[in-house]
């Protein structure tokens, strides 16, 4: 299919050949915006990579362009029809749920791999958390989100929307906004605005990422409670040790979870003796 056509023209041609409808259960809202595709591809080209993975190619708004950028290109597709379609188009199409795929086993060179996707909204937060937990992280990601979720990912501390997702994303990635989209940029049109974020992995001295996730989950478990009380739910956590760490780091003992910056979360985790 010619990529000289507009995205909308390409998708109109596709659906004239294959009269199928988007599946709400799979969160399918197909991208029809040349602006968004151009911005996402432009940002992608700024990363150095050898391997490229796309989640949910659908009718190919991004895919038709991505396949020209590297021969090391794989698509993960849960939809039976689109998996079969891209297989017949000569792509390495893997019939899988991106949340269930064995990323550790299947991604052999994560430092040279970029993930890109117009993500189904219902899996977007989980994808960010899961990829943040990878022992060896992907080099970068370019992902579509519901705008509200994208805002939470980049939210600053001391705000009500700053939460677990904000901490995990900001500790393990440098994040920037690529572009904003309106409902009319999709087919069918969702009821909310969207935003694309670019993530680049960054180094951290946290050795056990999953232990850090458990630590942060405990801290945010009951946002109205004081952080020091939430942390007592962790196994064998001494209240005096928590108070001592707060003092060591010049943290107010009455602080709540959203009042600590991502850097302070890491500092508290390390000061309490976690690796």
- Residue 22 sits in a domain whose CATH number is 3.40.50.150
In the predicted model, is pLDDT for residue 1 greater than 60? no
Structure confidence by residue, pLDDT tens digits, 136-147: 999 999 999 999
What's the average model confidence in pLDDT over 237-246?
94
The number of distinct structural domains making up the chain is: 2
Distance (Å, whole) CA 185 – CA 179: 12
What is the β-pairing status of strands 51-55 and 113-117? parallel
Structure confidence by residue, pLDDT tens digits, 20-71: 887 888 888 999 999 999 999 999 999 999 999 999 999 999 999 999 999 8
Structure confidence by residue, pLDDT tens digits, 79-132: 999 999 999 999 999 999 999 999 999 999 999 999 999 999 999 999 999 999
> Do 182 and 102 belong to one domain?
yes
Tell me which DSSP letter residue 253 carries: T
> Do 73 and 176 belong to one domain?
yes
What's the average model confidence in pLDDT over 209-234?
95
> Do 187 and 224 belong to one domain?
no
What confidence tier does 163 reach under pLDDT thresholds 50, 70, 90? Answer: very high
Which of 24-33, 220-229, 258-267 comes out lowest in average pLDDT? Answer: 24-33
- Residue 223 sits in a domain whose CATH number is 1.10.8.100
Give pLDDT, residue 57.
97
> Do 58 and 181 belong to one domain?
yes
Q: What is the pTM of this model?
A: 0.94
In the predicted model, is pLDDT for residue 188 greater than 80? yes
């Amino acid at each position: 299919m010619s990529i000289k056509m507009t995205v909308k023209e390409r998708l109109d041609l596709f659906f004239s050949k294959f009269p199928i409808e988007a599946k709400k259960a799979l969160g399918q809202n197909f991208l029809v915006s040349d602006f968004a595709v151009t911005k996402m591809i432009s940002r992608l080209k700024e990363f150095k990579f050898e391997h490229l993975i796309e989640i949910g190619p659908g009718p190919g708004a991004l895919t038709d362009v991505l396949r020209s950028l590297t021969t090391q290109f794989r698509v993960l597709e849960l939809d039976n029809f689109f998996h079969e379609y891209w297989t017949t188009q000569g792509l390495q199409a893997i019939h899988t749920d991106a949340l269930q795929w064995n990323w550790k086993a299947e991604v052999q060179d994560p430092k040279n791999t970029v993930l890109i996707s117009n993500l189904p909204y219902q899996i977007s937060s989980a994808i960010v958390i899961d990829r943040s937990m990878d022992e060896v992280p992907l080099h970068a990601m370019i992902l579509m989100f519901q705008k509200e979720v994208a805002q939470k990912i980049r939210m600053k501390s001391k705000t009500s929307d700053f939460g677990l997702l904000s901490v995990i994303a900001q500790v393990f990635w440098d994040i920037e906004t690529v572009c904003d989209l309106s409902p009319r940029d999709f087919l069918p049109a969702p009821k909310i605005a969207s935003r694309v974020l670019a993530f680049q992995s960054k180094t951290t001295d946290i050795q056990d990422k999953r232990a850090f996730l458990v630590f942060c989950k405990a801290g945010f478990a009951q946002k109205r409670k004081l952080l020091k009380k939430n942390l007592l739910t962790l196994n064998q956590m001494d209240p005096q040790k928590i108070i001592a760490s707060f003092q060591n780091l010049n943290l107010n003992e009455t602080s709540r979870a959203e009042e600590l910056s991502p850097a302070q979360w890491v500092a508290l985790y390390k000061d309490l003796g976690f690796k």
